[in-house]
Amino acid sequence: MKFSKEIKAALIALLSIVILITGINFLKGNSFFGGDEVYTAYFPNSGQLMVSSNVTLDGVEIGKVLSIKSNPTGDSLHKVILTFNIHNPDIRLPKGTVVEIGSLDFFTKALIVHLPTAGNGSYYKSGATIPGRVSNDVVSQVKAYADPISQKLQTMMLSVDKMVGSLTSFWDTTATSELEGSLKQVKLTIKKLGNVADELQGFVASERAQFSKIMANVEAITLNLRKSNDQITGIVGNTRKITDELVTADFKGTILEAQTTLKKFNMVLAEVEKGQGTLGKLIHDDKLYAELVATNNDLQDLVTDLEAHPERYVRLSLIGGKTKGLQLSKKNEDKLNKLLDSLPE
């Protein structure tokens, strides 16, 4: 059976229309043969999600976003109306399911389905409204993390800027000259320290021989002490013996005797002070003192006259001659000679 050209053209046009409609539905996210479950969700914003974005469950695509519309009359949580479908007829959304606008990676946005951990046996019907939320994307998360750090960096940069300004105002030509002068003083100090070190080295070298002699003398002294150990031991023993004798001595009796002697001496002094006894009379009797002085004066006169005129008192004979004067016996003459010898010259 042959078809005319007009019929062939009509059939081709109808087939093209069917293919076009099917392609448009496919591009919109609908299945080729329809029958998808369609749901609605409300969000505070679109989260930069686009029509035909994927609907995923556990990272697997299960549907498409069909439309995104603004809802001016809604509250802050219902500003955007989003419609999506589920291709797989085996997937049903239980009560408690939440859909979230989030990022699959840095570039891809998707509608993510979160099923409840334990369902109550009831499911959403096609056309039902499911709770929705918008998650923070990676950029928002990074921004939320970086904003406090950025503020701290800005505050720190202001502090650094103030510190640099303070250093700049301080670091003028005067400070530079003072720093140069300080560096010169440091150099001079280091040089002086080097000279002192050289002098110390020379001093040590010159005193090393003297130190060796001192150590030799110390060693000799130690050797002598070692040799004199027996003598030192004997001295220590004698000292210990003397100490023991001192410990065992009758100090109490000695002290008592000394006290008795002092009492007697005090009594004698008291008697002397009162003028009693021979010593007291000698001290307090002025008449005896005057007689002793007079006797001494007479004796001095006698000695003087005897020295001047000995012939008056001693008779001497020279070659049978005789001299005038008092003739003394041998005993009196010896006494007179002793008296003359005792007189001071």
The rounded percent of the chain whose pLDDT value lies above 90 is: 15
Overall number of domains in the chain: 3
Q: Taking a C-beta distance cutoff of 8 angstroms, is the pair 312, 326 a contact?
A: yes
Q: pLDDT tens digits for 256-275? A: 888 888 888 888 888 777 77
Q: Domain for residue 338, yes or no?
A: yes
- Would the pLDDT of 65 be above 80? yes
Q: What does the alpha-carbon distance between residue 127 and residue 124 come to, in Å, rounded to a whole number? A: 8
The pLDDT of residue 298 is 77
- Would the pLDDT of 329 be above 90? no
The pLDDT of residue 3 is 65
Task: Kindly state whether residues 255 and 338 are assigned to the same domain.
Answer: no
Residue scoring higher pLDDT (13 or 314): 13
Task: Kindly state whether residues 274 and 289 are assigned to the same domain.
Answer: no
Positions of E strands within 248-325? none
Q: Domain for residue 246, yes or no?
A: no
Q: Taking a C-beta distance cutoff of 8 angstroms, is the pair 111, 131 a contact?
A: no
Q: Domain for residue 207, yes or no?
A: no
Task: Kindly state whether residues 276 and 303 are assigned to the same domain.
Answer: no
Q: What does the alpha-carbon distance between residue 129 and residue 123 come to, in Å, rounded to a whole number? A: 12
User: Which DSSP string corresponds to 40-75?
Assistant: EEEESS-TT--TT-EEEETTEEEEEEEEEEE-TTS-
- Would the pLDDT of 154 be above 80? yes
Task: Kindly state whether residues 291 and 276 are assigned to the same domain.
Answer: no
Q: Domain for residue 98, yes or no?
A: yes
How many C-beta atoms lie closer than 10 Å to residue 25's C-beta?
15
Task: Kindly state whether residues 278 and 294 are assigned to the same domain.
Answer: no
The pLDDT of residue 114 is 93
Task: Kindly state whether residues 91 and 104 are assigned to the same domain.
Answer: yes
Q: Domain for residue 57, yes or no?
A: yes
Domain stop point among 85, 117, 135: 135
Least confident of 83-92, 141-150, 211-220: 141-150
Task: Kindly state whether residues 45 and 118 are assigned to the same domain.
Answer: yes
The rounded percent of the chain whose pLDDT value lies above 70 is: 76
SS3 40: strand
Highest mean pLDDT among 31-45, 114-128, 166-180: 114-128
How many C-beta atoms lie closer than 10 Å to residue 12's C-beta?
10
Task: Kindly state whether residues 309 and 276 are assigned to the same domain.
Answer: no
- Would the pLDDT of 52 be above 70? yes
Task: Kindly state whether residues 294 and 260 are assigned to the same domain.
Answer: no
Residue scoring higher pLDDT (23 or 269): 269
Task: Kindly state whether residues 275 and 289 are assigned to the same domain.
Answer: no
Q: What does the alpha-carbon distance between residue 16 and residue 10 come to, in Å, rounded to a whole number? A: 10
Range of the domain at 89: 35-135
Q: pLDDT tens digits for 67-118? A: 999 988 888 888 999 999 998 888 889 999 999 999 887 778 899 999 998 7
Task: Kindly state whether residues 90 and 128 are assigned to the same domain.
Answer: yes
Give how far the C-alpha of residue 287 lies from the chain's centroid of Cα atoms, to the nearest Å: 93
Nearest to 43 by CA among 111, 92, 105: 111
Q: Domain for residue 56, yes or no?
A: yes
- Answering whether pTM is above 0.75, one says no
Q: pLDDT tens digits for 222-258? A: 888 777 777 777 787 777 777 777 666 666 777 888 8
Q: Domain for residue 295, yes or no?
A: yes
Token pair listed for 129: 């409204």
Domain stop point among 234, 268, 283: 283
Q: Domain for residue 17, yes or no?
A: no
Domain stop point among 135, 153, 172: 135
pLDDT, averaged across the chain: 78
Task: Kindly state whether residues 48 and 80 are assigned to the same domain.
Answer: yes
